[in-house]
Amino acid sequence: MRRLAPVLREDGVELDLISLVRTILAACKDISFRVGQAELSGVLGSTLDENIQGETQKKLDVLSNQLLKDMLLESGFVRAIASEEEDFIVEGEHGGRFLVAFDPLDGSSNIDINSLTGTIFSILPVPDNKLAGDAITESDFLQPGRNQVASGYVMYGPSTILALTTGKGVKLYTLDKTHGSFLLTNENVSIPEETQEFAINASNQHSWQAPMQRYVRDLLDGKNGVRGKRFNMRWVACMVGDVHRILCRGGIFTYPVHTDNQAQPHKLRLLYEANPMGLLIEQAGGLVSTGEQNILDIQPTELHQRVPVILGSKQEVQVCLGYHD
Ligand code: F6P
Ligand code: MN
Protein backbone atom coordinates (compact mmCIF):
# COMPACT_ATOMS: atom_id res chain seq x y z
CA MET A 1 0.00 0.00 0.00
CA ARG A 2 1.46 3.44 -0.99
CA ARG A 3 1.39 6.36 1.39
CA LEU A 4 -0.76 9.40 0.62
CA ALA A 5 0.95 12.76 -0.10
CA PRO A 6 1.16 15.03 2.98
CA VAL A 7 -1.25 17.97 3.36
CA LEU A 8 0.69 21.19 4.02
CA ARG A 9 -0.18 24.36 5.92
CA GLU A 10 0.48 27.75 4.28
CA ASP A 11 3.96 27.97 5.83
CA GLY A 12 4.85 24.54 4.44
CA VAL A 13 4.53 22.64 7.74
CA GLU A 14 2.67 19.35 7.42
CA LEU A 15 -0.75 19.33 9.10
CA ASP A 16 -0.19 15.85 10.53
CA LEU A 17 3.04 17.13 12.12
CA ILE A 18 1.15 19.92 13.85
CA SER A 19 -1.41 17.43 15.15
CA LEU A 20 1.40 15.20 16.36
CA VAL A 21 3.04 18.07 18.27
CA ARG A 22 -0.38 18.85 19.80
CA THR A 23 -0.58 15.23 20.98
CA ILE A 24 2.85 15.53 22.63
CA LEU A 25 1.71 18.76 24.30
CA ALA A 26 -1.45 17.13 25.63
CA ALA A 27 0.71 14.48 27.33
CA CYS A 28 3.13 17.14 28.59
CA LYS A 29 0.32 19.17 30.16
CA ASP A 30 -0.61 16.07 32.11
CA ILE A 31 3.06 15.51 33.09
CA SER A 32 3.34 19.16 34.13
CA PHE A 33 0.32 18.75 36.41
CA ARG A 34 1.66 15.55 37.98
CA VAL A 35 5.16 16.98 38.50
CA GLY A 36 3.48 19.89 40.28
CA GLN A 37 1.34 17.61 42.45
CA ALA A 38 4.51 15.84 43.64
CA GLU A 39 4.24 14.65 47.26
CA LEU A 40 0.48 15.33 47.24
CA SER A 41 -0.07 12.50 44.74
CA GLY A 42 2.62 10.19 46.10
CA VAL A 43 4.57 10.32 42.82
CA LEU A 44 8.01 11.20 44.24
CA GLY A 45 10.75 8.63 44.79
CA SER A 46 11.97 5.58 42.88
CA THR A 47 10.42 2.38 41.59
CA LEU A 48 12.19 -0.91 42.19
CA ASP A 49 13.06 -1.14 38.46
CA GLU A 50 16.00 -0.10 36.31
CA ASN A 51 15.87 1.03 32.68
CA ILE A 52 17.88 -0.69 29.92
CA GLN A 53 20.83 1.55 30.79
CA GLY A 54 20.96 0.28 34.34
CA GLU A 55 19.60 3.48 35.88
CA THR A 56 17.03 3.41 38.66
CA GLN A 57 13.67 4.58 37.37
CA LYS A 58 11.80 7.23 39.28
CA LYS A 59 8.04 6.90 39.62
CA LEU A 60 7.60 10.05 37.53
CA ASP A 61 9.94 8.66 34.80
CA VAL A 62 7.66 5.68 34.44
CA LEU A 63 4.45 7.70 34.62
CA SER A 64 5.65 10.29 32.08
CA ASN A 65 6.79 7.55 29.73
CA GLN A 66 3.41 5.80 29.94
CA LEU A 67 1.46 9.00 29.30
CA LEU A 68 3.49 9.90 26.21
CA LYS A 69 3.56 6.36 24.92
CA ASP A 70 -0.21 5.80 25.21
CA MET A 71 -1.17 9.13 23.69
CA LEU A 72 1.33 8.90 20.83
CA LEU A 73 0.49 5.33 19.89
CA GLU A 74 -3.25 6.05 19.91
CA SER A 75 -2.95 9.31 17.97
CA GLY A 76 -2.87 7.79 14.47
CA PHE A 77 0.08 10.03 13.48
CA VAL A 78 2.87 7.86 14.85
CA ARG A 79 4.27 4.77 13.18
CA ALA A 80 6.57 3.88 16.10
CA ILE A 81 8.16 5.33 19.21
CA ALA A 82 11.53 4.96 20.91
CA SER A 83 11.97 6.10 24.49
CA GLU A 84 14.87 6.39 26.88
CA GLU A 85 12.73 4.37 29.31
CA GLU A 86 11.82 1.59 26.83
CA ASP A 87 14.21 -1.24 25.98
CA PHE A 88 12.89 -1.57 22.41
CA ILE A 89 10.89 0.45 19.92
CA VAL A 90 7.09 0.17 20.08
CA GLU A 91 4.97 0.20 16.91
CA GLY A 92 1.89 2.40 16.54
CA GLU A 93 -0.54 2.93 13.65
CA HIS A 94 0.41 1.65 10.19
CA GLY A 95 -0.78 4.89 8.59
CA GLY A 96 1.41 7.09 10.83
CA ARG A 97 3.92 9.23 8.92
CA PHE A 98 6.32 9.83 11.81
CA LEU A 99 8.72 8.18 14.24
CA VAL A 100 9.06 9.83 17.66
CA ALA A 101 12.05 9.41 19.99
CA PHE A 102 11.78 10.97 23.45
CA ASP A 103 13.24 11.39 26.91
CA PRO A 104 10.02 11.46 28.96
CA LEU A 105 11.47 13.17 32.03
CA ASP A 106 14.93 14.64 31.67
CA GLY A 107 16.83 15.61 34.82
CA SER A 108 15.17 12.99 36.99
CA SER A 109 17.61 13.60 39.86
CA ASN A 110 15.80 16.94 40.25
CA ILE A 111 12.34 15.41 40.72
CA ASP A 112 12.51 14.90 44.46
CA ILE A 113 13.98 18.34 45.19
CA ASN A 114 11.32 20.38 43.33
CA SER A 115 13.83 21.54 40.75
CA LEU A 116 13.74 21.73 36.93
CA THR A 117 12.79 18.74 34.79
CA GLY A 118 11.59 18.46 31.19
CA THR A 119 10.42 16.28 28.30
CA ILE A 120 12.59 16.18 25.17
CA PHE A 121 11.22 14.97 21.81
CA SER A 122 12.58 14.29 18.34
CA ILE A 123 10.34 13.67 15.32
CA LEU A 124 11.74 11.75 12.35
CA PRO A 125 10.11 10.81 9.06
CA VAL A 126 9.27 7.18 8.35
CA PRO A 127 11.98 6.22 5.79
CA ASP A 128 10.80 6.60 2.17
CA ASN A 129 11.32 2.93 1.36
CA LYS A 130 8.78 1.82 4.01
CA LEU A 131 5.31 1.10 2.71
CA ALA A 132 2.25 1.44 4.97
CA GLY A 133 2.10 -2.30 5.74
CA ASP A 134 5.82 -2.84 6.46
CA ALA A 135 7.04 -3.46 10.01
CA ILE A 136 9.17 -0.72 11.55
CA THR A 137 12.48 -1.83 13.05
CA GLU A 138 15.10 -0.23 15.26
CA SER A 139 17.20 0.58 12.19
CA ASP A 140 14.48 2.93 10.90
CA PHE A 141 15.24 5.18 13.89
CA LEU A 142 18.97 5.25 13.11
CA GLN A 143 18.79 8.44 11.03
CA PRO A 144 21.16 11.42 11.38
CA GLY A 145 19.75 14.29 13.44
CA ARG A 146 19.54 16.42 10.28
CA ASN A 147 16.60 14.27 9.19
CA GLN A 148 14.48 15.48 12.11
CA VAL A 149 11.33 17.27 10.88
CA ALA A 150 10.79 18.80 14.32
CA SER A 151 12.20 18.68 17.81
CA GLY A 152 11.67 20.40 21.11
CA TYR A 153 11.33 20.24 24.84
CA VAL A 154 8.75 21.10 27.46
CA MET A 155 10.34 22.42 30.65
CA TYR A 156 8.57 21.99 33.98
CA GLY A 157 9.70 24.94 36.08
CA PRO A 158 8.03 27.89 37.77
CA SER A 159 6.26 28.10 34.40
CA THR A 160 5.87 25.31 31.86
CA ILE A 161 7.60 26.28 28.62
CA LEU A 162 7.70 24.70 25.17
CA ALA A 163 10.68 25.27 22.85
CA LEU A 164 9.87 24.05 19.35
CA THR A 165 11.51 23.94 15.95
CA THR A 166 10.13 22.62 12.69
CA GLY A 167 13.33 23.63 10.91
CA LYS A 168 12.28 27.27 10.50
CA GLY A 169 13.81 28.86 13.61
CA VAL A 170 12.89 28.30 17.25
CA LYS A 171 9.74 29.48 19.03
CA LEU A 172 8.97 29.52 22.76
CA TYR A 173 5.47 29.05 24.16
CA THR A 174 4.35 29.38 27.78
CA LEU A 175 1.57 27.20 29.20
CA ASP A 176 -1.30 29.34 30.45
CA LYS A 177 -2.35 27.04 33.26
CA THR A 178 -5.68 28.79 33.78
CA HIS A 179 -6.82 28.02 30.21
CA GLY A 180 -4.63 25.03 29.38
CA SER A 181 -3.10 26.41 26.18
CA PHE A 182 0.49 27.05 25.16
CA LEU A 183 0.77 30.73 24.15
CA LEU A 184 3.52 32.04 21.87
CA THR A 185 5.93 34.11 23.98
CA ASN A 186 9.02 34.35 21.74
CA GLU A 187 8.67 33.83 18.01
CA ASN A 188 12.29 33.96 16.99
CA VAL A 189 14.87 32.76 19.51
CA SER A 190 18.41 33.84 18.72
CA ILE A 191 21.42 32.74 20.81
CA PRO A 192 24.04 35.47 21.34
CA GLU A 193 27.27 34.38 19.59
CA GLU A 194 29.50 35.32 22.51
CA THR A 195 29.12 34.44 26.16
CA GLN A 196 30.76 34.59 29.59
CA GLU A 197 28.88 31.62 31.02
CA PHE A 198 29.67 27.91 30.91
CA ALA A 199 27.98 24.73 32.16
CA ILE A 200 29.87 21.55 33.01
CA ASN A 201 29.75 19.08 35.89
CA ALA A 202 33.13 20.02 37.36
CA SER A 203 33.13 17.02 39.72
CA ASN A 204 34.20 14.93 36.69
CA GLN A 205 37.26 17.05 36.02
CA HIS A 206 39.67 14.20 36.85
CA SER A 207 38.31 12.19 33.92
CA TRP A 208 38.18 14.81 31.14
CA GLN A 209 40.52 14.51 28.17
CA ALA A 210 43.43 16.96 27.85
CA PRO A 211 41.69 19.45 25.45
CA MET A 212 38.72 19.90 27.83
CA GLN A 213 41.09 20.20 30.80
CA ARG A 214 42.94 23.03 29.03
CA TYR A 215 39.76 24.76 27.84
CA VAL A 216 38.13 24.86 31.30
CA ARG A 217 41.40 25.84 33.01
CA ASP A 218 41.62 28.85 30.68
CA LEU A 219 37.99 29.79 31.48
CA LEU A 220 38.72 29.61 35.20
CA ASP A 221 41.81 31.79 34.84
CA GLY A 222 39.46 34.73 34.27
CA LYS A 223 40.60 38.24 33.39
CA ASN A 224 44.30 37.63 33.84
CA GLY A 225 44.34 34.41 31.81
CA VAL A 226 44.58 33.90 28.04
CA ARG A 227 40.82 34.51 27.59
CA GLY A 228 41.09 37.92 29.20
CA LYS A 229 37.63 37.87 30.74
CA ARG A 230 35.85 36.41 33.75
CA PHE A 231 33.49 33.47 33.12
CA ASN A 232 30.59 32.46 35.34
CA MET A 233 29.48 28.84 35.85
CA ARG A 234 25.96 27.32 36.02
CA TRP A 235 24.83 23.67 36.25
CA VAL A 236 21.15 22.72 36.51
CA ALA A 237 21.72 18.91 36.35
CA CYS A 238 18.90 18.86 33.81
CA MET A 239 19.89 19.30 30.17
CA VAL A 240 16.54 20.97 29.42
CA GLY A 241 17.26 23.65 32.04
CA ASP A 242 20.79 24.29 30.79
CA VAL A 243 19.72 24.42 27.12
CA HIS A 244 16.82 26.71 28.00
CA ARG A 245 19.17 29.17 29.71
CA ILE A 246 21.39 29.11 26.61
CA LEU A 247 18.41 29.78 24.32
CA CYS A 248 17.48 32.73 26.57
CA ARG A 249 20.86 34.38 27.14
CA GLY A 250 23.63 32.33 25.53
CA GLY A 251 26.34 30.18 27.09
CA ILE A 252 28.19 26.94 26.46
CA PHE A 253 27.13 23.54 27.80
CA THR A 254 29.23 20.41 27.64
CA TYR A 255 29.06 16.83 28.84
CA PRO A 256 32.44 15.59 27.63
CA VAL A 257 34.08 12.17 27.37
CA HIS A 258 34.86 10.35 30.65
CA THR A 259 38.23 8.68 30.29
CA ASP A 260 37.84 6.66 33.51
CA ASN A 261 34.74 4.76 32.40
CA GLN A 262 35.56 2.49 29.46
CA ALA A 263 32.16 0.82 29.57
CA GLN A 264 30.27 4.10 29.38
CA PRO A 265 32.50 7.02 28.36
CA HIS A 266 29.58 9.33 27.45
CA LYS A 267 26.47 10.34 29.39
CA LEU A 268 23.98 11.93 27.01
CA ARG A 269 21.88 9.98 24.52
CA LEU A 270 22.11 10.79 20.83
CA LEU A 271 18.50 10.08 19.82
CA TYR A 272 16.65 11.40 22.87
CA GLU A 273 18.86 14.30 23.96
CA ALA A 274 21.76 15.37 21.72
CA ASN A 275 19.89 15.34 18.38
CA PRO A 276 16.69 17.15 19.43
CA MET A 277 18.66 19.73 21.45
CA GLY A 278 21.18 19.99 18.59
CA LEU A 279 18.47 20.97 16.10
CA LEU A 280 17.04 23.57 18.49
CA ILE A 281 20.48 25.08 19.14
CA GLU A 282 21.40 25.19 15.44
CA GLN A 283 18.04 26.66 14.48
CA ALA A 284 18.59 29.40 17.08
CA GLY A 285 21.99 30.26 15.56
CA GLY A 286 24.20 28.21 17.91
CA LEU A 287 26.61 25.35 17.29
CA VAL A 288 26.60 21.72 18.43
CA SER A 289 29.46 19.22 18.29
CA THR A 290 30.99 16.13 19.83
CA GLY A 291 34.40 17.82 19.73
CA GLU A 292 35.12 15.98 16.48
CA GLN A 293 32.01 16.41 14.34
CA ASN A 294 28.65 18.16 14.19
CA ILE A 295 26.24 16.06 16.23
CA LEU A 296 23.49 16.35 13.61
CA ASP A 297 25.72 14.62 11.03
CA ILE A 298 26.33 11.48 13.11
CA GLN A 299 25.01 8.28 11.57
CA PRO A 300 23.59 6.49 14.66
CA THR A 301 24.49 2.86 15.14
CA GLU A 302 22.36 2.01 18.21
CA LEU A 303 19.02 3.13 19.61
CA HIS A 304 20.39 4.01 23.06
CA GLN A 305 23.75 5.32 21.79
CA ARG A 306 25.49 8.00 23.87
CA VAL A 307 27.76 10.80 22.64
CA PRO A 308 29.93 13.62 24.01
CA VAL A 309 28.14 16.98 23.69
CA ILE A 310 29.40 20.55 23.32
CA LEU A 311 26.72 23.10 22.43
CA GLY A 312 25.75 26.74 22.71
CA SER A 313 26.89 30.21 21.60
CA LYS A 314 28.60 29.88 18.23
CA GLN A 315 31.85 31.71 18.91
CA GLU A 316 32.41 30.08 22.30
CA VAL A 317 31.79 26.58 20.92
CA GLN A 318 34.28 27.37 18.15
CA VAL A 319 36.85 28.45 20.78
CA CYS A 320 36.26 25.18 22.66
CA LEU A 321 36.61 23.18 19.42
CA GLY A 322 39.89 24.98 18.75
CA TYR A 323 41.35 23.17 21.80
CA HIS A 324 40.30 19.86 20.22
CA ASP A 325 42.02 20.39 16.83
O1 F6P B 1 19.59 12.88 31.28
C2 F6P B 1 20.86 13.01 31.67
C3 F6P B 1 21.06 14.19 32.59
O4 F6P B 1 20.21 14.14 33.70
C5 F6P B 1 20.92 15.56 31.90
O6 F6P B 1 19.62 16.04 31.94
C7 F6P B 1 21.87 16.42 32.70
O8 F6P B 1 22.44 17.44 31.91
C9 F6P B 1 22.91 15.45 33.18
O10 F6P B 1 22.40 14.15 33.01
C11 F6P B 1 23.24 15.66 34.62
O12 F6P B 1 24.38 14.97 34.90
P13 F6P B 1 25.05 14.90 36.35
O14 F6P B 1 24.28 13.85 37.08
O15 F6P B 1 26.45 14.50 36.08
O16 F6P B 1 24.91 16.23 36.98
MN1 MN C 1 17.71 12.99 30.14
Answer yes or no: is the C-beta of 267 below 6 A from any ligand 1 atom: yes
Say if CB 290 and CB 255 are below 8 A apart. Answer: no
10 by Cβ neighbours in 10 Å (0-12 / 13-18 / 19+) ranks as exposed
Averaged over 219-246, what is the pLDDT?
Answer: 98
pLDDT digits (tens, 9 = 90+) for 5-37: 788 887 878 899 999 999 999 999 999 999 999
Torsion angle in degrees (nearest 10) through CA of 146, 152, 119, 125: -50
In 3D space, the residue among 33, 13, 282, 273 whose CA is nearest the CA of residue 153 turns out to be 273
Average pLDDT over the chain, rounded to an integer: 95
Say if CB 105 and CB 31 are below 8 A apart. Answer: yes
Confidence label for 51 from pLDDT (cuts 50, 70 and 90): confident
Q: Where are the beta strands (DSSP E) in 107-200?
A: 117-125, 150-156, 160-165, 170-176, 181-186, 197-199
Whole-number pLDDT of residue 9: 81
Q: What are phi and psi of 194, to 5 degrees?
A: -110, 155
Whole-number pLDDT of residue 4: 65
Q: Which residues surround ligand 2, an ion (CB under 5 A)?
A: 103, 106
pLDDT digits (tens, 9 = 90+) for 154-188: 999 999 999 999 999 999 999 999 999 999 999 99
Confidence label for 120 from pLDDT (cuts 50, 70 and 90): very high
CATH of 197-324, one of 3.30.70.100, 3.20.20.140, 2.40.40.20, 3.40.190.80: 3.40.190.80
Averaged over 285-307, what is the pLDDT?
Answer: 98
Say if CB 182 and CB 28 are below 8 A apart. Answer: no
Check: pTM over 0.85? Answer yes or no: yes
Answer yes or no: is the C-beta of 266 below 6 A from any ligand 1 atom: no
Whole-number pLDDT of residue 3: 60
* pLDDT exceeds cutoff 60 at 2: no
Sign of CA dihedral 68, 71, 75, 79: positive
What share of the chain in percent tops pLDDT 70? 99
What share of the chain in percent tops pLDDT 90? 88
Q: Looking at residue 220, what DSSP letter applies?
A: H
Q: Ligand 1 pocket test: pick from 64, 65, 109, 246 the residue with the most ligand atoms within 8 Å of its Cβ.
A: 109
Find the ligand nearest to 116 CA.
1
The residues spanned by each domain of the chain are 15-186, 197-324
Q: What is the CA radius of gyration of the chain?
A: 19
* Topology given in CATH for the domain delimited by 15-186: Fructose-1,6-Bisphosphatase; Chain A, domain 1 (3.30.540)
Point out the least confidently predicted range of 7-11, 107-111, 311-315.
7-11
274: left (phi over 0), alpha (psi -120 to 50) or beta: alpha
Q: Tell me the DSSP string of 253-286.
A: EEE---TT-SS----EEIIIIIHHHHHHHHHTT-
